[in-house]
Every structure is written in structure tokens, then in C-alpha cells.
Amino acid sequence: MRRFKYSPNTFETYIGQRNAKEILQDSLIASIKENRPLGHILLSGPPGLGKSTLARIIAETQGGQFIETVATSFGKPEDWKALFEKIKSTGYRSDIRTMEAAKEAFKKDGGIDAIIDHSAILSKPVIFIDEIHRMKQSQEEILYSVMQDFTLHYTENDPFRRNSKTMAWTIIPYCTIVGATTEVGSLSKPFIDRFKLNIKLEPYNKKELCVMIELACRNWGVTLEDQAVIGIAERSRGVARIAMSFLDTALDYSYKTNKVGVLTKEAVDIAFDSNHLCIDNNGLTLNDIKYLYALKISDVPLSADSLSSITDIDIPTMMYNVEPHLLKMGYISKTNRGRHATQKGISVITDHPFLVFINGQVPITGSGPFGG
């Protein structure tokens, strides 16, 4: 079980994603002032950037119920009916006094918290659907009427005919659907168009990750050194979830420094710069090093299949774990002819200390695409 967790519950305590937060706060203010549902939201970006956390904050900000599910949970229309039956909200107030109170609060305090405190709105539920790109097109189409008219069409057993089903429909309470995806290109355009907001989350910078790490340590009562915090932030690839995992791992190595429960630079170096984990201060792993080294010693660009055979890295791992970071860092380039290392990539791999750990795993000489 992980000891450290970064779990903000307000926009103010949520670190980073400034653009996403501003868009969401502006939309929330408008929906609260007008006493209407917040539009449906699509959050995209790599894993571990806080999509579910933002959805939960939206629900808590408007005092609403938070229902979390994953797209693969739904195989038939009846599954959707069971999900929406969990909603406890009964609707929205249309009381003019609520609107006037909200306007006064906004003029006096100018903040979203003031509006919420004075509005006395009813609960506005948020349905968070993770991995929404894994939904079949037939499942997307079931949501069309839900997202537009809050009407669910489904099939149920026909009470008059055995082993037969009949179409039925039901009105569901107003709610906001928040979909999360790492593959927005896998969604159909008609489905994407039904989300009022389409927001892409970006990797965190080193400063933001340092703040998260410091907050997590403070909440756990751990003493820490500044250089240790920086060392973890640099290795985390801009992902908060990875930073918390690395923080937990580094503290496990504190016993080797005779400073148990103290996060030191020495513990971080022992954990990540040895053959235990091998993650350098650019976030490069052994798989990344093998990949870059294979490109460095090749005379021609290499295909994914060739790289997989040479490095013994399976193609899904290569495409989803290795290449995105190397592309972001500018270490590789992908063309129609294949992958090749950039000058920056060649520079970072030259004399890299982790090369000793892959000795024999990547051929240095041979026929085909490799030089002598």
C-alpha cells in the first residue's frame, strides 16, 4: 500500500493545470449563476495527471454526488440504467432568490466559493467514466440521448413474451458526465461533439512536482532534503502519480543511509542510480536506454518491429511507455521510414552510466541495420 498520496479537494489546492482549472472554474461559475447543469466534459492526456481528481473536485465544488466507473463496465444498455439509478439528485432549484443571492455574492466576494455558499443549489451529480476511449460505438450511441436530453433508451425483458426483449426509455436526473481518456483520437467525432468542454491536461513541470512531493511529505510527517525532492521530481516524467510512487520507493531506501523516515538525496541516489531501479534524472529507464542505444548504433531508421526484436521490448510497452517520453524530450524522431535518434538523443546516450547494465542485451555489431 502506498504511503504517500496527493489528493487535493479544491481548485485552490490542486497544483498545476492552470488553463484547465480556469476553464472549469469559469464554466462552474456560469452554471451556478444560471442555475443549470454544468456541460459535459472530456478530459484527455497521459495517465496519472489528475483527471479523476479534477472530476471529484467539480462534484465537491457544486456540492454534488460523485459516481466513478470505467467504460469497460458496460456491455449492454441495462448496465447504463443501473449506473444512472445510483443518482440521488432530484433536479435543480428555479428559485429567483437563489439567483439574486448568487449575484450578490459574486459582486461582493468575486469568488466561486462565495457563489456556492450563497446559492443554496441542490446537489449536482458528476458521473466520471474512465478509459472512455475503450467504449464501443454502440455504447457511445446509447449516451447520445443521455448527454443531449437526459433520456436513456434501453432494452428490458418483455413481460408478455418469454425470452423476448422490448425497448424502453426513462428520464434520468440532470448530471454532468466527465469522460477521461488517454486516446482521444479513438473517440468518434459525433461523440466528442457532445462534450461541451474538451480539455487536454499537460505534464507537470519540475516546480509543480516539487510542491506536490513536499505537501505529501508534510502530511505524512517525513523530513526531507531539498535535493531529494528535486531528484524525485526530475525522474517523474511530469506525472504526479509517478512522483508519489517514487517518493514511496525512495523512503524505503532510507534505512541504507541510517536515516529511517528521512528523505535524503543519498537515499534517492541509492534507489534510482543503481541497478535496482535505474531511472536517471531525465526520467530515462533501462528500456529507454536500450531503445536509444539501438537507434544510436544503427545506420538507418528502424521500424517498431525491428526495435522490439533488437531490444526485447514488446511493442505496446514501446509505444505507450517508451516512445512518448523520448519524443517529448526530443531524443527521437518518427518518420515514414522509421525511428531515428536525434542529435540530442545521441548526446544523452553517449557514455550513459546505465549502459553497463544493458551490456549484451543490445547487439553492438552485426549484419543488417547495424554498423561495426
Predicted local confidence at residue 94, as pLDDT = 46
Q: How far apart are CA 362 and CA 355, in angstroms?
A: 10
CB neighbour class for 122 (10 Å; exposed up to 12, middle 13-18, buried from 19):
middle
CB neighbour class for 269 (10 Å; exposed up to 12, middle 13-18, buried from 19):
middle
Q: Which distant-in-sequence residues (6+ apart) come within 8 Å of 106 by Cβ? A: 29, 33, 114, 115
Q: How far apart are CA 106 and CA 32, in angstroms?
A: 11
Helix (H/G/I), strand (E/B), else coil: 348: helix
Grid coordinates representing 265? Answer: 538525496
CATH class, domain 286-358, is: mainly alpha
Identify the weakest region by mean pLDDT among 35-39, 115-119, 358-362. 115-119
CB neighbour class for 313 (10 Å; exposed up to 12, middle 13-18, buried from 19):
buried
CATH class, domain 18-200, is: alpha beta
Q: How far apart are CA 246 and CA 252, in angstroms?
A: 10
Q: How far apart are CA 283 and CA 301, in angstroms?
A: 24
Predicted local confidence at residue 2, as pLDDT = 53
Q: How far apart are CA 242 and CA 249, in angstroms?
A: 10
Q: Which distant-in-sequence residues (6+ apart) come within 8 Å of 207 by Cβ? A: none
Per CATH, the number for 206-271 is 1.10.8.60
Assess contact for 54 and 24: CB atoms under 8 A. yes
Grid coordinates representing 310? Answer: 533488437
What mean pLDDT comes out for the span 212-221? 87
pLDDT tens, residue by residue, 119-164: 444 457 899 999 999 988 888 888 998 898 888 887 766 656 666 6
Q: How far apart are CA 241 and CA 232, in angstroms?
A: 12
User: Which carries the bigger pLDDT value, residue 95 or residue 24?
Assistant: 24
Assess contact for 14 and 21: CB atoms under 8 A. yes
pLDDT tens, residue by residue, 262-303: 888 998 988 898 666 889 999 999 999 999 999 999 989 999
> H-helix or E-strand containing 316?
helix 315-317
Percent of the chain residues topping a pLDDT of 90: 47
Parse the chain into domains and list their residue ranges. Answer: 18-200, 206-271, 286-358
Q: Mean pLDDT, the chain, as a whole number?
A: 83
